[in-house]
Structure 1
Amino acid sequence: MTTPAPLSNTYPSLAGRTVFVTGGATGIGAELVTAFAAQNCKVSFVDLQAEAGQALAEKTGARFFECDLRDTAKLANVINEVGEVDGPIRVLLNNAADDTRHDFREVTEAYWDDRIAVNLRHAFFAIKSVHAQMLEAGSGSIINFGSMSWYECQGGMTGYTTSKAAIEGMTRGLARDLGADNIRINTLVPGWVMTPKQKEMWVGEDVKREIERGQSLKRELLAQDICAMALFLASDDARMCTAQSFIVDGGWI
């Protein structure tokens, strides 16, 4: 597969807006932080990886908060602090998730609850926490991150795929409630994105061949490709887009 050049797109409506990213220290999240900072947004992000988070904050000018998203009370406190310092959050990107593999036959109730907390629960409570700020601002854009993995019947991580399927249901279930307040909510569904983590942990030669067979476009799907859609959905150009799932997967599902 050939690697495309980094994407370049500018949305004037995003300049100066307060943006909040979950799971922003590495991978797709780090590219989101970088992309929105490049649009002259006031970007804040949370992650557990303190060293990587601090380094990215120094590089981009974004604000980093170390936070375990299973602690929804702390997440709410961070969101409130960001709004007080930078003005009301206008864009929320619920990106954080963990696709750790597991055998469903060995899953305990405690592990199942943890997978839901890591991959789904915090997204709802982040939305709940930013609602008042978006209401104050008069509008907002919420982007929940799904996954093509459950569409493709990918096994070995039921806690993750179940959560990602539920993300789309949550988006649809909140769209009408939020729409009355001029707040848009969509799901961005990435394909198999070639982040350093994926290449290191999961993408060997067999998987590369599987991806090439699956994708209609025969090149690597990059985090920048996901960012291009996220920037559009966050901007005023997408003002009539809500309750939808936008798939960026190279034409796989």
Structure 2
Amino acid sequence: MPMPSALFPDLENAGVLITGGASGIGAALVEGFAAQKAKVAFIDIDRPAAEALVDRLASAAHKPLFVHADLSDIEATRRAVTSAGETLGDIRAVINNAAWDDRRDFEDLTEDYWQKSHDINLRPAVFVTQAALPYMRKAGGGSVINFSSIAYLLNMGEFPAYATAKAGIIGVTKSLAGRLGRENIRVNAVMPGMVLTERQKQLWVSDDAATAFLDRQALKFSLVAEDMIGPCLYLASDCSRAVSAQTMIVDGGCM
């Protein structure tokens, strides 16, 4: 799918930090912001996929910077954000995209599994943003974009830990918007619907299930990772300078 054709001149040379940028939606965002000539850094645990992405985008105006870290390790995450911030110089936008959409039935939940889900799906949105704050102040403000999911609104019983974390993202977004607005930092959430990444197709979503889900959507095409680029470009840019504490649902008209 082609990149969005719209240009956002204010994003040229802007520092952008993306979590979970090696694959799926995150990789699409890295490419989308690189196409805007932003200075993109991304954090991921998957070194081979990340390095392949960097090689593929080597001809961009600013070659993306990959920083390796396990986002469930807060100290390692802080070091990764600091490394990215020092290299970029400042950070204009933080996109907390990383997620682990594993499935486990309620009766099979364990304390360790519940904690692992929240360590990946919820905590990094707080501590990545916290670590990036000095670099956003240096930029004079900016935008934090947190990824939630419509899954927690659909009574989907397959992933109670994931759904709870994604509901928590909305609470974090509202609270941080109230705190950081005084520093000219906007905080919003993006809430995707069913996005057919390679991971989704390999692990969870059959062709029949994808087709059936279209019955719930107003738009009769399956969403792909690139469909998340435009909303994030808008929320990161000055076009949305008056938008904060909001949740943008990007689900093809399912909700």
Return the TM-score normalized by structure 2.
0.95
- Alpha-carbon distance in 1 for matches of 2:150, 2:142: 25
Residue in 1 that maps onto 2:66:
64
Residue in 2 that maps onto 1:90:
92
SS at match of 1:92: strand
1:8 to 2, 5, 19: 5
- The residue type equivalent to 1:172 in the other structure is K
The root-mean-square deviation of aligned C-alpha atoms, in Å, is 1.2
Give the unaligned 5+ runs of structure 2: 58-62
1:178 to 180, 194, 208: 180
- Alpha-carbon distance in 2 for matches of 1:6, 1:65: 24
Does the 8 Å contact 2:20/2:42 carry over to 1? yes
Task: Give the CA deviation at 1:209.
Answer: 3.1
Give the unaligned 5+ runs of structure 1: none
Task: Give the CA deviation at 1:170.
Answer: 0.6
SS at match of 2:41: strand
Q: Is 1:54 equivalent to 2:56 in the alignment? A: no
SS at match of 1:89: coil
Task: Give the CA deviation at 1:169.
Answer: 0.8
Task: Give the CA deviation at 1:127.
Answer: 0.9
Residue in 1 that maps onto 2:236:
234
Residue in 1 that maps onto 2:141:
139
Task: Give the CA deviation at 1:5.
Answer: 5.6
Return the TM-score normalized by structure 1.
0.96
- Alpha-carbon distance in 2 for matches of 1:33, 1:6: 11
- Alpha-carbon distance in 1 for matches of 2:6, 2:227: 11
- Alpha-carbon distance in 2 for matches of 1:235, 1:78: 24
C-alpha distance after superposition, 1:77-129 (max 9, x if no partner): 11112221221111100000011100111111111111110110111001111
Task: Give the CA deviation at 1:6.
Answer: 4.7
- The residue type equivalent to 1:135 in the other structure is R
Which segments of structure 1 move beyond 2 Å, counting only runs of 4 or more?
A: 4-7
Residue in 1 that maps onto 2:60:
none
- Alpha-carbon distance in 1 for matches of 2:199, 2:111: 27
- Alpha-carbon distance in 2 for matches of 1:82, 1:46: 9
Moved more, 57-66 or 169-178: 57-66
- Alpha-carbon distance in 2 for matches of 1:44, 1:98: 20
Q: Is 1:37 equivalent to 2:37 in the alignment? A: no
Task: Give the CA deviation at 1:206.
Answer: 3.2
Task: Give the CA deviation at 1:222.
Answer: 1.6
Task: Give the CA deviation at 1:196.
Answer: 1.1
C-alpha distance after superposition, 1:110-164 (max 9, x if no partner): 1111111011011100111111211122111000001011111112111111000
- Alpha-carbon distance in 1 for matches of 2:208, 2:101: 19
Residue in 2 that maps onto 1:20:
17
Identity, in percent, stands at 42
- Alpha-carbon distance in 1 for matches of 2:244, 2:253: 22
2:102 to 100, 103, 111: 100
Does the 8 Å contact 2:3/2:32 carry over to 1? no
- The residue type equivalent to 2:175 in the other structure is G
- Alpha-carbon distance in 1 for matches of 2:105, 2:139: 45
Task: Give the CA deviation at 1:16.
Answer: 0.3
- Alpha-carbon distance in 2 for matches of 1:110, 1:198: 24
Does the 8 Å contact 2:210/2:222 carry over to 1? no
SS at match of 1:135: helix
Task: Give the CA deviation at 1:15.
Answer: 0.3
SS at match of 2:152: coil
1:167 to 166, 169, 176: 169
Q: Is 1:111 equivalent to 2:113 in the alignment? A: yes
